[in-house]
Amino acid sequence: MYKNEFWNNENCIKMGISSVREWYRIFWNAILFIIIQFG
């Protein structure tokens, strides 16, 4: 039971990190797009 909970927490942390990376990439793509459009 404890091992399973630990594993779930580990997965949540990994998912959180990957989603932040995705958000960061999308954010920079949007910034570059705006610069290209209006720059």
Determine if the pTM surpasses 0.85: no
Query: What pLDDT does residue 12 have?
Result: 73
Report d(CA 33, CA 23) in Å as an integer: 15
* Terminal Cα distance for the chain, rounded: 56
Within 10 angstroms of residue 18's Cβ, the number of other Cβ atoms is 10
Query: What pLDDT does residue 7 have?
Result: 62
Burial category of 14 from C-beta neighbours within 10 Å (exposed 0-12, middle 13-18, buried 19 and up): exposed
Q: What is the pLDDT along the chain (39 residues), one digit of tens a residue?
A: 456 666 667 777 777 778 888 899 999 999 999 999 998
Query: What pLDDT does residue 9 have?
Result: 72
Element (H, E) at 16: helix 2-38
